[in-house]
Structure formats: structure tokens, C-alpha cells
Amino acid sequence: MARYIFITGGVVSSLGKGLMAASLAALLQARGYRVRIRKFDPYLNVDPGTMSPYQHGEVYVTDDGAETDLDLGHYERFTGVPSRQSDNVTSGRIYQSIITKERRGDYLGATVQVVPHVTDAIKEFARAETDDLDFVLCEIGGTVGDIESLPFIEAIRQLRNEMDRDQTLSIHVTLVPYINAAGELKTKPTQHSVRELAALGVQPDVLLCRCEQPLPETERQKIAQFCNVRAEAVIPALDADSIYSVPLQYHAEGLDDEVLRGFGIRDAQEPDLSRWYDICDRRNNPEGEVTIGVVGKYVGLQDAYKSLHEALVHGGMANRVNVKIRWLDAEVFENEEETLAAQLEPLHGILVPGGFGERGSEGKISSVKFARERNVPFFGICLGMQMACIEAARNTAGIEAAGTTEFRETSEPVVGLINEWMSEEGLQKREHGNDLGGTMRLGAYPAQLLENSHAARIYGDTKISERHRHRYEVNSNYIDQLTSGGLVFSGMSPDGELPEIVERPDLSWFIGVQYHPELKSKPFEPHPLFASFIAAAVHKSRLV
């Protein structure tokens, strides 16, 4: 029977609950336990798919086609356990389900209320698909005291009462701020946060205290006394030099030992942390450095490209080099060739990531042209691949009016809206004017690679499966013309209709992919495309 760990946060947001959950899961996994992590999001959007990256950061996509919170990326990167649609739920999705049932008459005329209907739905979500697990970690978004999170806290309270006492444990992540003028760490915010949570019926068993300075033993005892926990259960969490050193840091502070003690587990095997020591060694002791320019639209907020950032870091680990990332606003490069050359000339690699909308598109196309003409390693992802195809059409295939119908009507739609495609569920169709939410080609789809292509050599296989998130596709009617300009379509959907990978064999490294390989990269298993891209950048750096 699965044991449940409920993770809440207090005082302020952005304390790192997701990273803490991922790190604890990795530590439990290192002891041989089977784990899964879930995220409860209190906002009313059904999913984050229609939310601006500036509002929510990146949208993480699972194999089964769910658009989820970016924390699920942390979960998967740290544990290697593929996330599923059932691992993320929002208030909006829960209310949508309940209202649908109410309209259908499923409640037999009963008054539909937060308790028990909403809380029952939350509990049902928490318990689903857990039979083969040892631990289920459930992270509650937001902070204690938020109106939006109250139904989730109430559901936790009920679950803790309904389950055996040794089957649940509550961890509260809180802030212990350092007041520079006083030269002291202050415990009062933590005390108030725990009091707020306890007033809602949930007494935390473990406190993870985020602090900028080491937590003195006197303050640790003080927190324990006023928050009704053991002193050993007050775990200090100082800022780390890298997110990948956090599991080792938390283990050194006794987090996993205290969690197991809270469940009454005394005979757990010692964790095998060799994987994490190797990751930290590769991260902290590089043998060189490369500079990669990411030419994008949302570069003002790095969380918009969180998985991409981490995948580049993983590529650096695979090559034992530090990857320095320059976030470049694509809009700046539009009609400013001197600025473009000055910014891109020093780079060892250029990456154009995915995105939506016209803003910055011409700057991205100019960046592709620069990489092609200067033979700089180029990696285009999703929209980045589409921009590479438009650049090829305009500048090497003679199709001057090449464009995409995503931005406007065009006489040469090299990229266009896909109306139907095949999935495991059968033929999927989209009609003009549909809702934006859930109308994309989402999740894992297979691709067939051209034998002896660069992509096939990188993957070591001709059959792959990668995660997609897009509405527009490269128009296969233009393949012959683009091929005449030197672009090779080295990956296609199994039915041969949808381009998945393009490359230029005459250049050192030039690949565009329609999918998002960054979503499957892990520190202990870097994605082969990112490992190869960084290897090409290393080679470029040595030629300079």
C-alpha cells in the first residue's frame, strides 16, 4: 500500500517546493523505493496550455499528451519516471469535471458543494493509479492561506484522517529570512505559517526551512518548540550552487532519514547516491566552456524555457563542459544585420526554440541564415525548425514569398495549420475556429528516420518517439523544392505525411526538429541531440 507525503508551502511563493519534492523522491528512489510525484494546482485554468509563459513559465508535456505545470519537468528529470496526465490536476479541471457530472444528473439532485464533492474529487485524484508504488508525493501549489488552495488543504486533512497514521506525512516548506540590519535569522514567519496550516487541521511532521545563512541550533530548537515538531525534523535548506546538488545537500541534512522515521521505517537500505555524485562532479568540474545563443521570444523569463535550459546543461555534462547560455531577444535582430552579427559572431552554437506568434519571427529567420552561412552549429526546435524551413525556402529554394499561415495568409504556405493527423487513438481532426486549449498535436508520436542520416547516427536508431506540442506543420508539398536547396528531410511520421526532422549534411551541425527533445532529457541521461549539439559547439570553440 502506497504511503503519502503531502508538501505545502508558506510565507512566500517560489520557495522550491517542486525541487524539494523531486529531490526527496530521488533520495527515496536511491534507497530502492518506487515513487511518483503529483502536483495540485489551485488556479482555475483547466491546464496551463493557454497561459502566457510570462504568467506560468513553460508548459511541460507528457507522453500521454497532457499540458502540465513545469514542476513535472523537475519530477521527471530527477527520478526518470515518465510523468502522466494523472500527475497534475488544477482546480479548473476538477470543477469542470464536477459541473459536467452535475449537468448530466450524476448527483441525483443533491446540492453540489466544495465539501464533499470538490474534496472527494481531489482525494480521488490523489489515490488514482498508486497500487504499484511505495511513496506518492503530492505537492500543493501556492502558499498556505491562499483562498484558492483551501479545498486542497481540506482534502489533505481528510485523507490523513481516513488513512492509517503511518501512511501519511506532511512536509511544510517555509522561509526563515535573514534581516541584514539585525544580523539575525527570523523564525516568526515560519511560526505563523505553521500556525495557519495547523488551524486548517494539518499539523506538519517535517519543516524544510529555506534560509540564506546557516540555521543555528538555537533557532532550530526554537522553531521545533513553537511549531510542535522534533528538532531533527527541522531541516535547513540553504541555497545550492546547482539544482543537481540539492538531493545530496538534503540527504546531508537528514531529510530522507527523517521522512522514513516519520513513517516508522527503521530498516531502509542506505541510498546509492553514486549517480548524483557523478552528476555534481561533471557539473562542478568542467574541462572547458562553450557559449550557446538562444534566440527566442520569451527570453525575459528563463522559466519559459526551463526544460531547454536544463537540457543544454545536460549536454554540457555529457561533454564535461560548462554551457554558458546567452538569451537573445529575436525582435532585436529584425532589420538590424549589424546587431545580429555582433551578437551571434562570438557564439559556438545557435538554438531557436519553440514558441507561438509572429513577434520576433523575422529575427529567428535571420539567425538561421547566419548559422547556415557561417557554418555555426544550429539547432531548431518546433517553431525553430519551421523558421529553418522558411529560411531555406526563401534563400536556397527561390521561394521568396515563403511564410506560415500562423502569422497571416500567404501565397506560399511552407508552414500551415494541420487539420488532421494520426495518433494511437486514431484519426484526429481540428476545425477552423476551435478552442485553443487541447487542440494541438500533443504528446509522444513516433518518427521514422532516414538511414545513414545525421539524425539516425545521433540516435543510434531509425525509429524514435518524441513529444510534440504544436498546431502548425511544415507543408510536405514543398519537400521537393526545399530538398533542391540542400535541406534533407531525415525524419518523417510513419505515414510519410508529416516532416519531423530536417538537416543540412553539408554543414558541421544543422538540425531542426518538429518536436521538443528537451522534455525527455535528464542529468543522468542527456538527450542525444543535445549531447551531440554541445559536442559540435565544443569542436567549434576549438577552431576559433
Q: How far apart are CA 4 and CA 25, in angstroms?
A: 12
Task: Give residue for cell 501556492.
Answer: 142
Q: How far apart are CA 437 and CA 446, in angstroms?
A: 23
- Looking at the domain that runs over 287-417+473-543, which CATH code has it been given? 3.40.50.880
Q: Quote the pLDDT of residue 79.
A: 97
Q: Quote the pLDDT of residue 209.
A: 96
Helices (H) and strands (E) in the chain, counts: 18, 25
Q: How far apart are CA 407 and CA 390, in angstroms?
A: 13
Segment 360-373 mean pLDDT: 91
Angle at 32 between CA 29 and CA 33, to 5 degrees: 65
Do 287-417+473-543 and 3-278 have the same topology in CATH?
Answer: yes
The single residue of 258, 454, 518, 527 carrying the catalytic annotation is 518
Q: Is the pLDDT at 437 greater than 70, yes or no? A: no
Q: Is the pLDDT at 509 greater than 70, yes or no? A: yes
Q: How far apart are CA 51 and CA 37, in angstroms?
A: 23
Q: Which of 9-13, 272-276, 425-429, 473-477 is least confident? A: 425-429
Q: Quote the pLDDT of residue 421.
A: 47
% of the chain at pLDDT higher than 90: 78
Provide the angle, in degrees to the nearest 10, between the axes of the packed helices 188-199 and 217-227: 20
Segment 98-106 mean pLDDT: 94
Q: pLDDT (tens digit, 9 = 90+) per residue, 214-251?
A: 999 999 999 999 999 999 999 999 999 899 999 999 99
Q: Quote the pLDDT of residue 464.
A: 97
Q: pLDDT (tens digit, 9 = 90+) per residue, 316-353?
A: 999 999 999 999 998 888 777 778 889 999 999 999 99
Q: Is the pLDDT at 371 greater than 80, yes or no? A: yes
Task: Give residue for cell 484526429.
Answer: 428
Residue 382 is a catalytic residue: yes
Provide the grid cell at 12.
512566500
Q: What single DSSP character describes residue 158? A: H
Task: Give residue for cell 570553440.
Answer: 541
Q: Quote the pLDDT of residue 407.
A: 85
How would you classify the pairing of strands 206-211 and 184-185?
unpaired
Task: Give residue for cell 541584514.
Answer: 180
- Name the band, by pLDDT with cuts 50, 70 and 90, for residue 61: very high
Contact, 515 vs 527, CB < 8 A?
no
Q: How far apart are CA 7 and CA 106, in angstroms?
A: 32
Q: Quote the pLDDT of residue 439.
A: 66
The single residue of 138, 227, 382, 389 carrying the catalytic annotation is 382
The single residue of 251, 470, 516, 527 carrying the catalytic annotation is 516
Reported pTM: 0.92
Contact, 138 vs 7, CB < 8 A?
yes
- Name the band, by pLDDT with cuts 50, 70 and 90, for residue 411: confident
Query: At a CB cut-off of 8 Å and minimum separation 6, what does 139 contact?
Result: 7, 17, 18, 21, 37, 38, 39, 40, 71
Query: Residue 393's closest CA among 261, 273, 496, 512?
Result: 512
- Looking at the domain that runs over 3-278, which CATH code has it been given? 3.40.50.300
3-state SS, residue 540: helix
What residues does each domain of the chain span?
Answer: 3-278, 287-417+473-543
Q: Quote the pLDDT of residue 85.
A: 92
Task: Give residue for cell 474529487.
Answer: 121
Segment 60-79 mean pLDDT: 94
Task: Give residue for cell 566552456.
Answer: 289
- Name the band, by pLDDT with cuts 50, 70 and 90, for residue 425: low
Contact, 368 vs 380, CB < 8 A?
yes
Please classify residue 330 by burial: count the beta carbons closer than 10 Å to its beta carbon, then call 0-12 exposed, 13-18 middle and 19+ buried: buried
Q: Within its chain, how far is the Cα of 131 from the centroid?
A: 26
Query: Residue 65's closest CA among 425, 513, 385?
Result: 425
Q: pLDDT (tens digit, 9 = 90+) per residue, 465-493?
A: 999 999 899 999 999 999 999 999 999 99
